[in-house]
Structure 1
Amino acid sequence: MKTTDDILKLGDPRLYEICEPVQKEELPLVKTWVKDLHEAMEDIRAQYGFGRGIAAPQLGIMKRLFYLNLDKPYIIINPKIKSPSQELFELWDDCMSFPNLLVKVKRHQSLTLDYLDENWEKQSWTVEGSVSELIQHEFDHLDGVLCTMRAVDDKAFRWKG
């Protein structure tokens, strides 16, 4: 069972690596990876009271995959962001790799996400607001970018609690 302790923490060099695409022949592994991501996210939710998504590299799985649990589970394989809005908004972002730290960032208000689902079928999803922000956060993990690197200024950090 994967737990909070399995999530890579701020400073781990793997968090700054660009992930490789998932290959079609790796599809059988995706189910196991998603189970691990789900378990780790549930443990974060239980301990810290937040968590709507987690990216594979946060568990050391260096693949372009993330998992969202919103109104239902979403398995996002090899995503591409299309048509990000010009309109931005600011928010305090949190991350499972540093669960007690908040970082003020700017994100696109809306975007379209093209990806493959767990059946290797092409999907396109247009989102806005908090789901747009969440997707940008998880997508950044696949490129080795943490929200700490997107802070709006040097005062954009605060402890939770």
Structure 2
Amino acid sequence: MKHLTDLLLLGDPRLYERCEPVTESDLPLVAGWVADLHNVMEEIRATYQFGRGIAAPQLGIMKRLIYLNTSHPEYGGPRVLLNPELTSLSPEIAELWDDCMSFPNLLVRVQRHCRLTLTFRDEHWQPNTWTVDDWALAELIQHEYDHLEGVLCTMRAIDAQSFRWRPTPTCS
């Protein structure tokens, strides 16, 4: 089982590599990869109070796999995206302060498309098409998809002033 200490951090050269597709012969490994991704996401949530998605290369698994786990009303529970491809991006763009588990104390101002459509295979190798009209979910998918391409949000910063430290949570 992988843990928070296995998470690749900013500067690790593997984070800048394009991932290989998951193959049907990889399917017996997918459940273990997803369990590792889930475990690390839960540790990030407990430590930093954020985390809705994680991409396999963040754990050194250089495969095109995204694990989402959010309470978003569009779907409930975890979702596994194998070999996702963005097939449509809305022309509307919005800005946000993006965060990343691979540099959890840094926020980066980026622009993302407001809506998207993607195709992917699920953990049972079934093909899916998903149209995402919700901004929060669309930006999350774009962030995780970028990881599969070897792109970090630091590389999408709007300008040189688009970086700031995450405020430390305090108890009241």
Same fold (TM over 0.5): yes
Q: Which position in structure 1 is the counterpart of 2:78?
A: 73
Q: How far apart, in 2, do the equivalents of 1:102 and 1:5 lie?
A: 21
Task: Provide TM-score, normalisation by structure 1.
Answer: 0.98
Q: Does 1:37 align with 2:43?
A: no
Checking the alignment, whether the CA contact within 8 Å between 1:37 and 1:59 is kept in structure 2 is: yes
Q: Which position in structure 1 is the counterpart of 2:8?
A: 8
Listed as ranges, the matches of 1:1-161 within 5 Å are 1-70=1-70, 71-127=76-132, 128-161=134-167
Give the aligned residue type for 2:13.
Answer: P
Deviations 1:37-76 (A, max 9, x none): 0000000000000000000000000000010002310000
Runs of 4+ with >3 A deviation: none
The gaps in structure 2 that reach 5 residues or longer are 71-75, 168-172
Deviations 1:59-98 (A, max 9, x none): 0000000100023100000000011000000000000000
Shift of residue 4, structure 1, vs aligned partner: 1.6
Q: How far apart, in 1, do the equivalents of 2:32 and 2:58 lie?
A: 15
Q: How far apart, in 2, do the equivalents of 1:48 and 1:119 lie?
A: 32
User: Aligned residues, how many?
Assistant: 161
Q: How far apart, in 2, do the equivalents of 1:85 and 1:115 lie?
A: 18
The gaps in structure 1 that reach 5 residues or longer are none
Q: How far apart, in 1, do the equivalents of 2:21 and 2:4 lie?
A: 25
State percent identity of aligned pairs: 64
Specify the SS of the correspondent of 1:51. Answer: coil
Deviations 1:117-137 (A, max 9, x none): 000001111113010000000
Superposition RMSD in Å? 0.6
